[in-house]
DNA sequence: CGAAATTAAATTGCGCTTGATTTAATTTGA
DNA sequence: TCAAATTAAATCAAGCGCAATTTAATTTCG
């Protein structure tokens, strides 16, 4: 059992599957003019309405290097506003707009379409979900 | 059950775990001057010695847009050679060099170190592996 | 108090990733 | 045969991802 055989690695199928599923999302997200990263950002805002960049980054495992330009773009598109916090000017607060809220409707069907094309049983999906979160938690 | 809740998605933990594990690899790969993508490319060459770019891309789920610059860099580092096929000049053949072979030794320990820090049981790892390949196959 | 440390975003630089287009070689078929 | 279609890499543009640095605000503590 060669540890350097591609087929013996866990990371590689993770990396490939992740890219593959994002590629399933892409044509659906194109219709609402979002990239995958923009989409998961909007998902947080659909839940929370208003959140600081630091906390947002912790939810998404992304830092300001990725988020700053991405949030500026979403702001330009009118989906959110960016404002410095009054209490602590170091913090930038991101808040969803009406337009951003409205976009949620057009996104509702997307997850179901992707899950369908993944063809996993409910059990398999649950197992996968649980293993991935176990890994995530200890990182 | 909101389908647009981040925590209800399968793709997001896949995406996050994939990035997280690559981040475990990064400091180890830095010591042998490879990025993760360069590393999986070298893994194919450690197995096959010689392969066309198209087939290489099929193994790695990458296209010439990613591979062309990456292979040029690895060629500059002396780890492989790039030669047009005699039979069909459209094909570029990549072949590992002595130096490329030699690098394999320095990489042997890396997978074990990463797997260790993932803290999954053998069963869990096997289940995860199997689910990911099931997903990959139907994509 | 006020200098030093800490914190949050922004910026920079480099590399990956993909979609689309271009270029060149080969194959196909009217 | 030879023009049209196909194939393989290369190239280009746009965006992500991350490490490292910079800038500005706030906190800590001597």
Tens of pLDDT along B53-90? 999 999 999 999 999 999 999 999 999 999 999 999 99
- Give the whole-angstrom CA distance, residue B108 versus residue A38: 38
Mean pLDDT of A41-59: 97
**CB contact at 8 A, B131 and A129:** no
User: Closest Cα of chain B to A16: distance in Å?
Assistant: 7
Using alpha carbons, select from B29, B43, B126, B112 the residue that is nearest to residue A12: B43
Phi/psi of residue A88, nearest 5 degrees: -145, 105
**CB contact at 8 A, A51 and A94:** yes
Instruction: Decide if pLDDT at B110 tops 70.
Output: yes
CA→C1' distance for B86 and C29 (Å): 26
pLDDT score of B122: 86
Name chain A contacts of B126, Cβ cutoff 8 Å. Answer: none
Name chain A contacts of B135, Cβ cutoff 8 Å. Answer: 17, 20-21, 118, 120
| Cα angle: B90, vertex B54, B101; to 5 degrees | 105
Residues shown for chain B: 139
Tokens linked to B23: 């981040």
A2: region left, alpha or beta (phi > 0 left; psi from -120 to 50 alpha): beta
Name chain B contacts of A38, Cβ cutoff 8 Å. Answer: none
pLDDT score of A122: 87
Instruction: Decide if pLDDT at A1 tops 90.
Output: no
Predicted confidence band of residue A9 (pLDDT cuts 50, 70, 90): confident
pLDDT score of A139: 82
Mean pLDDT of B15-40: 97
User: Closest Cα of chain B to A18: distance in Å?
Assistant: 5
Provide, rounded to the nearest whole percent, the portion of chain A with pLDDT above 70: 96
Instruction: Decide if pLDDT at B6 tops 70.
Output: no
pLDDT score of A60: 97
- Give the whole-angstrom CA distance, residue A30 versus residue A67: 20
Q: Give the Cβ contact number of residue A7 at 10 Å.
A: 12
Predicted confidence band of residue B36 (pLDDT cuts 50, 70, 90): very high
User: Closest Cα of chain B to A22: distance in Å?
Assistant: 7
Check residues 88 to 117 of chain B and report those whose beta carbon is under 7 Å from nucleic acid strand D.
90-92
Check residues 71 to 90 of chain B and report those whose beta carbon is under 7 Å from nucleic acid strand D.
71, 82, 90
**pTM of the predicted model as reported, rounded to 2 decimal places:** 0.93
Nearest residue of A to residue B104, measured between CA atoms: A4
pLDDT score of A6: 64
Q: Which nucleotides of C are covered by protein (CB under 7 A)?
A: 7-13, 15-20, 24-27
3-state secondary structure of B55: helix
Secondary structure (DSSP) of chain A: --TT-GGG-SHHHHHHHHHHHHHHHHHHHHTTT--HHHHHHHHHHHHHSEEEHHHHHHHHT--HHHHHHHHHHHHHTTSEEEEE-SS-TTPEEEEE-HHHHHHHHHHTTHHHHHHHHH---HHHHHHHHHHHHHHHHT-
Mean pLDDT of B101-127: 92
Instruction: State the average pLDDT for chain B.
Output: 94
Instruction: Decide if pLDDT at A18 tops 90.
Output: yes
Interface of A with B in 23-82 (CB under 8 A): 23-25, 36, 40, 43-44, 46-47, 59-61
pLDDT score of B2: 73
Residue nearest to nucleotide C13 (CA to C1'): A65
Tens of pLDDT along A83-135? 999 999 999 999 999 999 999 999 999 999 998 888 888 899 999 999 999 99
- Give the whole-angstrom CA distance, residue A64 versus residue A30: 24
Tokens linked to B19: 């990035």
CA→C1' distance for B77 and D10 (Å): 20
Instruction: Decide if pLDDT at B46 tops 80.
Output: yes
Tokens linked to A12: 């590689």
**Looking at the complex, does the CB of residue B132 fall below 8 Å from at least one CB of chain A?**
yes
Mean pLDDT of B41-55: 97
Q: Is A6 in Cβ contact with B21 (below 8 Å)? A: no
């Amino acid at each position: 059992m060669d540890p350097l055989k591609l087929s013996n690695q866990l990371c590689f199928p993770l990396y490939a599957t992740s890219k593959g599923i994002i590629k399933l999302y892409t044509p659906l997200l194109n219709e609402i003019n979002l990239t995958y990263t923009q989409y998961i950002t909007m998902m947080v805002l659909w839940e929370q309405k208003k959140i600081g960049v630091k906390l947002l980054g912790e939810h998404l495992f992304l830092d300001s290097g990725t988020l700053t330009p991405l949030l500026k773009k979403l702001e330009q598109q009118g989906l959110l506003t960016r404002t410095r916090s009054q209490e602590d000017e170091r913090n930038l607060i991101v808040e969803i707009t009406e337009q951003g809220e409205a976009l949620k409707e057009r996104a509702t069907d997307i997850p179901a379409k992707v899950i369908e094309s993944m063809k996993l049983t409910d059990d398999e999906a649950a197992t996968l979900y649980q293993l991935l979160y176990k890994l995530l938690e200890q990182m």
